Amino acid sequence: MIKKELCQIVSQAEIAEHIFKLTLQGELVREMNEPGQFVHLKVSDYAEPLLRRPISISDINKDENQFTMIYRAEGRGTALLSERKPGDFVDVLGPLGNAFPIEAASTGETALLVGGGIGVPPLYELSKRLVKRGVKVIHVLGFQSENVVFYDEDFTKLGETYVATVDGSYGTKGFVTNIIEDRKLTFDVLYSCGPTPMLKALENNYKDKKVYLSLEERMGCGIGACFACVCHTADDPSGHTYKKVCSDGPVFKAGEVLL
C-alpha cells in the first residue's frame, strides 16, 4: 500500500563528496517488502521546489521501522534535503514501483549486481536479500572517481565486490563492463541500476541471460497517473504501447522496454 507520511530523520551524513546517506523512521516502512522500490519526497514546505523527488530505498530495517536512502545532492531539491537535520520531518510518499525479483535467482545460483554511481544504492537491500536467500552475489560498482565512491565495504561484506572508476583513482580504471569481461565473471541472474548507457551495454551483452534493469525518468506523480515517465515497449518501439517507469517499473526485465 502506498502511504504518505511525515517521517522523522534518524540520521543523515555525507558519506562521499555530495553523496548523502539519510535514514528515516515511519510507519510506512511496514509497507516496504521488496528491494528496488523508491519513495517520492517533498523536500520543502514551500511551493518551491514544487515537485517531489524520487529516491530509491537502499536499506530497510523493519525492526526499527527505519529505511535508508543514498542520494547525490545535485540540484536545489536534493541540496535542500541534505540540509535537514536529525529530528526534522520529511514528507514521504511510498513505497512506489516494482522491485527487483529476488525469486529470479535460486538458492545456490550466482547473481551479478551491477551499479553505476547513484544507481548503486538500491542494490544494497537487494544484495542483502539475495544473500539471505542463499544466492551467491558478486558486485560490480562503477563511479566517476574515488571521491564519490561509497558503500564498497558494505558490499564487500555481502560478497565479492569490484569497483571501477572512470579516472582510475580507485579500483580498476574504466567501466563496469570492462571488469565483468576482464574478470570473466559468470552469473545466473544480472541485476543492474545506473545510467542508461550502462544499462544498454548490459542488455546487449547478456541477451541470453536473465537480466533486470532499474530505470530512471523525470517524474510528476510517481504513482502512474500523469504519464510523465513512460517508455516504449521493446516490441512496439514506435507504437503507442508503453510502460510507466514509476508504476510498471522502475525495474524491468531486459528486453521489455526500449532503453
Partner 1 sequence: MKSLQISLPGLELKNPIMPASGCFGFGREFSQLFDLSLLGAIMIKATTFEPRFGNPTPRVAETTAGMLNAIGLQNPGLEKVMNEELPWLDQFDVPIIANVAGSQEEDYIAVAKDISKAPNVHALELNISCPNVKTGGIAFGTIPEVAKILTKKVKEVSEVPVYVKLSPNVTNIVEMARAVEDGGADGLTMINTLVGMRIDLKTGKPILANKTGGLSGPAIKPIAIRMIHEVSQHVSLPIIGMGGVQSAEDVIEYYYAGASAVAVGTANFVDPFVCPTIIEELPELVRSLGFEHISECTGRSWKNG
Interacting residues with ligand FES between 222 and 241 (CB under 6 A): 222, 224-229
Interacting residues with ligand FMN between 116 and 175 (CB under 6 A): none
Task: Choose among 123, 13, 23, 120: nearest CA to 73.
Answer: 13
- DSSP-based three-state secondary structure for 181: helix
Q: Which is nearer to partner 1, 207 or 240 (CB)?
A: 240
Among 134, 173, 226, 241, which residue sits at the site for ligand FMN (rule: CB under 6 A)?
Answer: 226
Beta-carbon contacts of 50 under 8 Å, excluding residues fewer than 6 positions away, are none
For position 101 contacting ligand FES by CB under 6 A, the verdict is: no
Q: What is the nearest approach in angstroms of ligand FES to the Cβ of residue 223?
A: 6
For position 2 contacting ligand FES by CB under 6 A, the verdict is: no
The x, y and z cell numbers of residue 213, run together, are 534493469
Q: Which is nearer to ligand FAD, 55 or 213 (CB)?
A: 55
Q: Which is nearer to ligand FAD, 51 or 185 (CB)?
A: 51
Q: With CB cut-offs between 5 and 8 Å by kind, which of ligand FES, a second copy, ligand FAD, none does residue 226 bind?
A: ligand FES
* Contact pattern for ligand FES over residues 170 through 209, marking x by CB under 6 A: ----------------------------------------
Q: Which residues bind a second copy (CB under 8 A)?
A: 44, 46-48
Q: Which is nearer to partner 1, 50 or 107 (CB)?
A: 50
Q: Which is nearer to partner 1, 69 or 219 (CB)?
A: 219
Task: Choose among 29, 245, 37, 186: nearest CA to 126.
Answer: 37
Beta-carbon contacts of 258 under 8 Å, excluding residues fewer than 6 positions away, are 231, 232, 233, 234, 237
Contact 221, 96 (CB under 8 A): no
Beta-carbon contacts of 213 under 8 Å, excluding residues fewer than 6 positions away, are 192, 193, 199, 202, 203, 251, 252, 253, 254, 259
Hey, which residues does 39 pair with through a beta bridge? 55
Q: Cis (ω within 30 of 0) for the bond into 49?
A: yes
Q: What is the nearest approach in angstroms of a second copy to the Cβ of residue 80?
A: 9
> Binding residues for ligand FES, per CB under 6 A?
219-222, 224-229, 244, 246
